Amino acid sequence: MTGRFRAGVRDGRATSTGQGGRPAICAQGRHGRRAGKAAMPGHSGTARVLTSFRACLAGSPATWTCALIFCAVLVRICVAQPQASAGQGSQAAFSPLPARPHGDPAKIALGRMLFFDRRISRSQKLSCASCHDLDTNGASAAAMDRGDSGRATAWNTPTLFNSVHNFRFGWKGSTRSLRAFTLQALTTDHLMGGKDLAARRFAADPDMLRRFRKLYGSLPSDGAVADALTAFIGTLVTVDAPFDRWLGGDRTALSPRQQRGLNRFNVLGCASCHQGANLGGNIFQRRGIFHPLGKPDPRYLRVPSLRNVAVTPPYFHDGSVASLPEAVRQMGRAQLDLAISDRDAADIAAFLTALTGRYEGTRLRRAAPGHAR
């Protein structure tokens, strides 16, 4: 097999041709679709793993660890239950979202107050909720939001819902803890730019001063503000997604079309990167392995979670795609070298709607254009 292959779709199934016109192993493997049943890639899918491995190693030595993590996940999927059904196969790659974390109620309450407080920004015009709308999708409808400086941000704003379950933070994944990422957002000039201004403002507020002294035994500080915000953000976990009910054994939770979408999601190889409880957020990946995808930099990104993805357009790190089926097609071409059919893209998008959960009893929905708080 060559290190690269071309793939197409026939009658809703992925096909590929290797060197000399011979079939090449693709994400579907040899187990394919039989008697109406979906199958995860079998042992022959190891060749596909090696193809992706070589592609990942095309980067610098600093990226090899990411490549090894990625391929370890691929191996896990390729060898798990070769002839499983869509429901059985899904349990090999995914797990239900963990319950909402517990924490200090007083700290969480303070964090909630700070989340909506504009005093944390230099100009006092922005709060966390300005870009992360908790009444809709935990993000915004903009391709790029604007920070306190008025400049467009470098990245599309990701949702904060379920971010506590990511293993790294930010699109580049350069921050290892949610607290560090929150502190970075508070102090970076082109985001909030508050530095110690917010702490001084809260110290001048008798009620806030009392709360910080009671919780932290000291005056407000940037670190304490970030700590309280982190406690609150950690509770932003969505529940009751249909897919979680499916994973729990409720075979009525997904519609027939969503089940077909789950089948194709697994068979085409989407679950190679989007797996686990958050369907992503737990590995790094080279962007545009086979074809360009979005802006050229950076080359390596933390794989985003697909939780609530149906309500968080626009998509990708640059917010360049508005349609979920189109995002599926572009990902298939760029990351898997697959030409995904319109039907498969629509079915996969239908499955992804089953990842939309509830927060405080309300199903998440798309943010309205121009949202600002």
Answer yes or no: are the C-beta atoms of 305 and 105 closer than 8 Å: no
State how far the alpha carbon of 340 is from the alpha carbons of 232, 327, 352, in Å. Answer: 40, 11, 16
Among residues 322, 314, 311, 321, the alpha carbon closest in space to that of 363 is found at 311
* Torsion sign, CA atoms 222, 223, 229, 233: positive
Geometric angle at alpha carbon 183, from 179 and 189, rounded to 5°: 155
The token pair that represents 1 in the structure block = 């097999």
Could you please report the per-residue DSSP string of 63-100? GHHHHHHHHHHHHHHHHS-TT--HHHHHHHHB-PPPPP
Answer yes or no: are the C-beta atoms of 155 and 144 closer than 8 Å: yes
Helix (H), strand (E) counts: the chain: 12, 6
| Tens digits of pLDDT across the chain (373 residues) | 333 333 333 333 333 333 333 222 233 332 333 323 333 333 334 444 455 555 555 555 444 545 544 554 454 444 344 334 444 444 669 999 988 888 999 999 999 999 999 999 999 999 999 999 999 999 999 999 999 989 999 999 999 999 999 999 999 999 999 999 999 999 988 899 878 899 999 999 999 999 999 999 999 999 999 999 999 999 999 999 999 999 999 999 999 999 999 999 999 999 999 999 999 999 999 999 999 998 888 899 999 999 999 999 999 999 999 999 999 999 999 999 999 999 999 999 999 999 999 999 999 999 998 754 4
Answer yes or no: are the C-beta atoms of 49 and 71 closer than 8 Å: yes
The Cα 266–Cα 274 span in angstroms is 10
- In this predicted structure, what is the pLDDT of residue 57? 56
> Whole-model pTM?
0.78
- In this predicted structure, what is the pLDDT of residue 91? 61
